């Protein structure tokens, strides 16, 4: 316990209290508590890649307020945090920062030393390094980044237990991710299959449906002329003429009378002269284009459906690098129109990018008069990998999948039930998850052809001909996890047998980063590693997160919970809003660099920034608003000053004394209601309303109550004792009510007169004020409002007369009902002192009026 300084300030509170909290382990989880006494939070592990975005701080602060409330309510709060460092964002950051590129063919160089260069241009030439060297750099860089992130989180006062920190690439996470995956394999919830998948041609990896986004792209329709058996032509629109050599069929709607006679016949493709069948399918839309669609393997997801359902041949044109195949397609070999040979024709396309091939093919088609009219420019949505720069292609490849209900009604319904069983804050976010589940069209593709991730923990035997037997994976013993099949050798084999006939090969892929972060509850709660901890924390209480990862993180975590434990991993989901620029546009990168969390904390204090975040409701998109932060800072400063003042008025031995005066009792009665309403708000995760209610009362406490009673509180008579007891009780309650939102200033003022941390203090409710309210007679509950109203009249009279607040009032005349006057009479000491009123006249009458007569002059001050 210290005393209030002469000139209290909010500056420097962040560093001061962070240090104390760290020293005292204020937020350490008490793992002796039972499940019912624990409140466990599944905090999102932020992606560690560069600057921590203000939007991240925004959401985390809101959750922290909830965590602090639960802690003060007596729960043992289990509040871990982790870093999501595995995955493509880190790879890309390392590539750019160090100027390297992973080349798995190279050998490890133990002497390699490369320094990060933040000023490197992202496109500058890259140096090839081995896979182990590349992974080393990834680990090295994420360690640095995580330190920076931790400091920001400490600066804004997150009350996480840093002892529980984890990283999604660390040993424990790799072990748990691999173990869970192996259990999925054992239960046949995971399977390997060769199938068309969305493919990013730059990153050279398959991607999952959840990582795909639509982007508008300028394109154009080209109207191709296909030839009927009788030599006449039909017109077919396409935006991807370069796929024409991969055309396997033409589909029409079964209900389209225009083409009914064509169904079952064959057409010949322009330029390439390949015969393709005309087939009917329900997904063909008579209203799109000319009503005929050419099916290529593959242009889009519909092509995949047609290919599968109509049992069409596979004619792959695009390679995994996004370029057209080099070898002449065998189905062209029969001849190619005006070209003397298929070879001659294909020479124009082999190795070209899709865009180059498109331009060339349109040229050739136009020259040969095989198109109708000019290309018509359009803008349409095209699928992109969310982190990619070029449109996704669809290629056939062998990949691992985890069942997610897309192809399985029973699982899908179980997931939909789960979405409905969760308590959502705000409620409408539930719909987003339900729509996502209902719209899934493929199982979850979890293998990625990347490097910095959790390896798929599998090997495959190689048969006598040197071909891997994909259907018979070799599974490691769980004690060996985590393993890297590129380095580790399966039992029963020798390292020298790697890659040889009769030997083995390690799975070269890593898992989707969500395959690890979807296990965050299992990771933090110690699944399979600490059964005691697991039983005290799982299923968890709260999953807080951003709206943009409902389809990925919320969904996949729920899926893993159901597959692994047949239960939901948490009971409540809270979705924060989106951060917008001050002009209400989505927060841009450039702005993000100006309005960094650190700079805003420097300008307004952590409590100011937190106030802004806590003023925004759950799920409500919010603009960066320096004005709100300034208001928050002002509130913090006010709490410092009023605390200092009140503590100066209150003598220590009177703090717990009896409250007897009507104004004091009435104020405490109102405060008791405030505490209960704030508690109820927090109970339904509405930190915003709790702050609103508390803040509103806090200002009335400062401006009206303290002003009314400060004069009476001097001295030691009964009136003074009552005022001091009420001031102390109210101050204690208000400091605690504000602590979840303004933890630094609340801790500071608490330390001036209380032992221990305010964040470990008991949360105030109406019950906690019962002793002070023992003398309450319900007839005086209006005393505070009555006195404050009269004081307001007096202030207005002085303001209207352009006088200062100390200007004396000669006569205050109040006309009102007997009941009101009776209450008012008992508050006159305070009203007269606060309003500098000399004489009072109370008149009983049906009509209400207040008349104030100011003195003619200001008396000389002694």
Partner RNA sequence: GGGCGCUUAGCUCAGCGGUAGAGCACUCGGUUUACACCCGAGCGGUCGGGGGUUCGAAUCCCUCAGCGCCCACCA
Residues 383-412 that bind RNA (CB under 7 A): 383
Which residue among 69, 166, 203, 221 contacts RNA (CB under 7 A)? 221
Which 257-296 residues touch RNA, going by CB under 7 A?
Answer: 283-285, 288-294
Q: Where does this chain touch RNA (CB under 7 A) — which range of 165-173, 226-234, 376-384, 591-599?
A: 376-384
> Which stretches of 80-160 are DSSP H helices?
88-98, 131-155
| Integer Cα distance of 712 and 108 in angstroms | 80
Which residue among 101, 792, 813, 826 contacts RNA (CB under 7 A)? 792
Which residue among 35, 187, 380, 417 contacts RNA (CB under 7 A)? 380
Helix or strand run (H / E) with residue 396: strand 393-402
* Nearest distance from C-beta of residue 590 to RNA, angstroms: 16
Interface with RNA, residue 121, by CB under 7 A? no
Q: What is the contact mask toward RNA in residues 686 to 705, using x (rule: CB under 7 A)?
A: --xx--x---x-----xx--
201, 118 contact by CB (below 8 A): no
Q: Where does this chain touch RNA (CB under 7 A) — which range of 31-39, 66-74, 425-433, 733-741?
A: 425-433
Among 780, 561, 759, residue whose Cα is nearest residue 667: 780
Pick 176 or 433: Cβ nearer RNA = 433
| Integer Cα distance of 68 and 84 in angstroms | 24
Interface with RNA, residue 237, by CB under 7 A? yes
Site size with RNA, rule: CB under 7 A? 84
Q: Is the bond leading into 298 cis (omega within 30 degrees of zero)? A: yes
Which residue among 47, 239, 518, 537 contacts RNA (CB under 7 A)? 239
Strand partners, 809: 837, 854
Q: Where does this chain touch RNA (CB under 7 A) — which range of 412-420, 530-538, 654-662, 792-800?
A: 792-800
Answer yes or no: is 589 a known binding residue.
Answer: yes
Interface with RNA, residue 829, by CB under 7 A? no
Interface with RNA, residue 160, by CB under 7 A? no
Which residue among 382, 446, 614, 831 contacts RNA (CB under 7 A)? 382
* Nearest distance from C-beta of residue 345 to RNA, angstroms: 23
Pick 289 or 539: Cβ nearer RNA = 289
Q: What is the contact mask toward RNA in residues 57 to 86, using x (rule: CB under 7 A)?
A: ------------------------------
* Nearest distance from C-beta of residue 526 to RNA, angstroms: 32
| Integer Cα distance of 301 and 472 in angstroms | 30
Which 195-214 residues touch RNA, going by CB under 7 A?
Answer: 209, 212-214
* Nearest distance from C-beta of residue 858 to RNA, angstroms: 8
Pick 116 or 372: Cβ nearer RNA = 372
Q: How many other CB atoms are found less than 10 A from the CB of residue 86?
A: 31
* Nearest distance from C-beta of residue 110 to RNA, angstroms: 44
Pick 537 or 751: Cβ nearer RNA = 751
CA distances from 141 to 106, 146, 150, 810 (A): 21, 9, 14, 74
* Nearest distance from C-beta of residue 291 to RNA, angstroms: 7
Pick 145 or 237: Cβ nearer RNA = 237
* Nearest distance from C-beta of residue 414 to RNA, angstroms: 20
Pick 253 or 447: Cβ nearer RNA = 253
* Nearest distance from C-beta of residue 623 to RNA, angstroms: 5
Pick 165 or 280: Cβ nearer RNA = 280
Which residue among 207, 236, 691, 742 contacts RNA (CB under 7 A)? 236
354, 325 contact by CB (below 8 A): no
* Nearest distance from C-beta of residue 245 to RNA, angstroms: 16
Pick 103 or 268: Cβ nearer RNA = 268
Instruction: Give, as one character, the DSSP assignment of residue 4.
Output: -
Q: Where does this chain touch RNA (CB under 7 A) — which range of 42-50, 124-132, 268-276, 797-805?
A: 797-805
* Nearest distance from C-beta of residue 89 to RNA, angstroms: 17
* Nearest distance from C-beta of residue 384 to RNA, angstroms: 9
| Integer Cα distance of 328 and 232 in angstroms | 28
* Nearest distance from C-beta of residue 158 to RNA, angstroms: 24
- The DSSP-derived string for 536-598 is HH-SEEEEEE-GGGIIIIIHHHHHHHHHHHSS-SEEEEEE---EE-TTSSBPPHHHHHHS-HH
Among 577, 733, 748, residue whose Cα is nearest residue 669: 733
Instruction: Look at the block and give the residue holding tokens 């199982």.
Output: 443
Longest CA pairwise span in the chain (Å): 118
Length of the chain: 862
Among 23, 430, 446, 436, residue whose Cα is nearest residue 193: 446
Among 259, 251, 302, 313, residue whose Cα is nearest residue 280: 251
Backbone torsion region of residue 707, taken as left when φ is above 0, otherwise alpha when ψ lies between -120 and 50, otherwise beta? alpha
Which 622-681 residues touch RNA, going by CB under 7 A?
Answer: 622-623, 625, 627-628, 631, 633-634, 637-638, 641-642, 644-645, 648
Which residue among 202, 255, 494, 800 contacts RNA (CB under 7 A)? 800
* Nearest distance from C-beta of residue 332 to RNA, angstroms: 22
The gap from C-alpha 283 to its chain's centroid, in whole angstroms, comes to 36
Strand partners, 445: 401
Tell me the three state secondary structure of residue 723.
Answer: helix
Q: What is the contact mask toward RNA in residues 541 to 580, using x (rule: CB under 7 A)?
A: ------xx--x--------------------------x--
Pick 6 or 472: Cβ nearer RNA = 6
- Backbone phi and psi for residue 375, each to the nearest 5 degrees, phi listed first: -60, 135
CA distances from 132 to 106, 137, 464, 707 (A): 9, 9, 30, 70
| Integer Cα distance of 558 and 415 in angstroms | 8
| Integer Cα distance of 183 and 178 in angstroms | 9
Q: Where does this chain touch RNA (CB under 7 A) — which range of 183-191, 297-305, 335-343, 365-373?
A: 297-305
Torsion of CA 842, 845, 851, 852, to 10 degrees: 10
CA distances from 17 to 10, 154, 248, 754, 858 (A): 11, 10, 69, 15, 47
Strand partners, 511: 447
Interface with RNA, residue 804, by CB under 7 A? yes
Strand partners, 849: 815
Which 600-619 residues touch RNA, going by CB under 7 A?
Answer: 615, 617
Tell me the three state secondary structure of residue 703.
Answer: helix
* Nearest distance from C-beta of residue 164 to RNA, angstroms: 31
| Integer Cα distance of 460 and 477 in angstroms | 15
Residues at the binding site are 589
Residues at the binding site for ATP are 589
């Amino acid at each position: 316990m210290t005393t209030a300084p002469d000139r209290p300030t909010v500056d420097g509170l962040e560093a001061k209290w962070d240090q104390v909290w760290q020293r005292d382990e204020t937020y350490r989880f008490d793992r002796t508590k039972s499940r019912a006494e624990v409140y466990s939070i599944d905090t999102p592990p932020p992606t560690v890649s560069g600057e921590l975005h203000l939007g991240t701080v925004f959401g985390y602060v809101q959750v922290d307020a909830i965590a602090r409330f639960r802690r003060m309510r007596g729960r043992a709060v289990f509040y871990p945090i982790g870093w999501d460092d595995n995955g493509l964002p880190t790879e890309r950051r390392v590539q750019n920062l160090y100027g390297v590129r992973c080349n798995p063919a190279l050998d490890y160089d133990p002497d390699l030393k490369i320094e990060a260069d933040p000023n490197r241009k992202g496109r500058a030439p890259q140096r090839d390094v081995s896979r182990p060297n590349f992974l080393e750099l990834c680990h090295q860089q994420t360690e640095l980044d995580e330190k920076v992130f931790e400091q920001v989180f400490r600066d804004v006062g997150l009350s996480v237990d840093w002892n529980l920190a984890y990283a999604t690439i660390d040993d424990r996470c790799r072990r748990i991710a691999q173990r869970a995956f192996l259990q999925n394999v054992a239960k046949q919830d995971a399977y390997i299959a060769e199938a068309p998948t969305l493919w990013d041609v730059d990153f050279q990896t398959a991607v999952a449906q959840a990582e795909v986004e639509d982007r508008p792209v300028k394109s154009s329709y080209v109207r191709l002329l296909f030839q009927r058996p009788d030599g006449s032509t039909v017109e077919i629109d396409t935006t991807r003429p370069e796929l024409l050599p991969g055309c396997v069929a033409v589909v029409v709607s079964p209900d389209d009378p225009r083409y009914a006679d064509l169904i079952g016949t064959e057409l010949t493709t322009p330029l390439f002269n390949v015969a393709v069948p005309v087939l009917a399918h329900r997904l063909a839309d008579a209203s799109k284009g000319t009503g005929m669609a050419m099916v290529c393997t593959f242009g889009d997801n519909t092509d995949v459906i047609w290919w599968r359902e109509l049992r069409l041949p596979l004619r792959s044109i695009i390679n995994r690098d996004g370029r057209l195949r080099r070898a002449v397609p065998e189905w062209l070999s029969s001849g190619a129109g005006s070209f003397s040979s298929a070879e001659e024709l294909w020479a124009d396309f082999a190795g070209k990018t899709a865009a180059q091939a498109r331009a060339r093919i349109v040229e050739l088609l136009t020259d040969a008069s095989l198109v109708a009219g000019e290309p018509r420019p359009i803008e349409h949505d095209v699928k992109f990998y969310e982190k990619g720069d070029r449109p996704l292609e669809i290629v056939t490849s062998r990949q691992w999948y985890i069942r997610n209900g897309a192809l399985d009604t029973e699982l899908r319904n179980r997931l939909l039930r789960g979405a409905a069983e969760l308590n959502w804050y705000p409620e409408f976010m539930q719909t987003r998850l339900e729509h996502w589940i209902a719209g899934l069209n493929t199982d979850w593709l979890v293998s990625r052809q990347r490097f910095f991730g959790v390896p798929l923990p599998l090997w495959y035997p190689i048969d006598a001909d040197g071909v891997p037997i994909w259907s018979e994976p070799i599974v490691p013993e769980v004690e060996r996890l985590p393993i890297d099949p590129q380095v580790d050798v399966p039992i029963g084999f020798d390292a020298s047998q790697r890659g040889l006939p009769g030997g083995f090969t390690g799975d070269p892929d890593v898992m989707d980063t969500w395959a690890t972060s979807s296990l965050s509850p299992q990771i933090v709660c110690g699944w399979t590693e600490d059964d005691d901890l697991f039983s005290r924390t799982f299923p968890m209480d709260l999953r807080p997160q951003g709206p943009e990862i409902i389809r990925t993180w919320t969904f996949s975590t729920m899926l893993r919970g159901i597959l692994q434990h047949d239960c939901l991993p948490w009971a409540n989901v809270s979705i924060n809003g989106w951060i917008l620029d001050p002009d209400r546009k989505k927060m841009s990168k450039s702005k993000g660099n100006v309005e960094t969390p650190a700079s805003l904390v420097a300008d307004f204090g952590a409590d100011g920034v937190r106030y802004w975040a806590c003023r925004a409701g759950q799920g409500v998109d919010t603009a960066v608003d320096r004005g709100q932060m300034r208001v928050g800072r002002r509130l913090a400063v006010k709490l410092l000053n009023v605390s200092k003042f009140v503590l100066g008025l209150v003598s220590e031995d009177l703090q717990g004394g009896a409250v007897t005066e009507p104004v004091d009792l009435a104020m405490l009665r109102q405060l008791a209601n405030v505490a209960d309403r704030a508690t109820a708000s927090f109970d339904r995760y509405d930190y915003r309303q709790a702050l609103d209610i508390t803040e509103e009362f806090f200002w009335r406490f400062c401006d009206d109550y303290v002003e009314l009673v400060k004069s009476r509180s001097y001295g030691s008579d009964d009136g003074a004792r009552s005022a001091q007891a009420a001031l102390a009780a109210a101050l204690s309650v208000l400091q605690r009510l504000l602590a979840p939102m303004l933890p630094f200033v609340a801790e500071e003022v608490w330390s001036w007169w209380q032992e221990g941390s305010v964040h470990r203090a008991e949360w105030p409710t109406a019950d906690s004020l019962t002793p002070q309210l023992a003398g309450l007679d319900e007839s005086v509950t209006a005393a505070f409002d009555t006195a404050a109203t009269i004081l307001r009249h007096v202030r207005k009279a002085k303001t209207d007369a352009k006088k200062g607040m100390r200007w004396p009032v000669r006569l205050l005349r109040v006309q009102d009902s007997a009941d009101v006057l009776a209450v008012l009479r008992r508050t006159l000491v305070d009203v007269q002192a606060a309003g500098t009123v000399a004489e009072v006249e109370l008149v009983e009458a049906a009509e209400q009026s207040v008349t104030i007569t100011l003195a003619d002059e200001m008396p000389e001050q002694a």
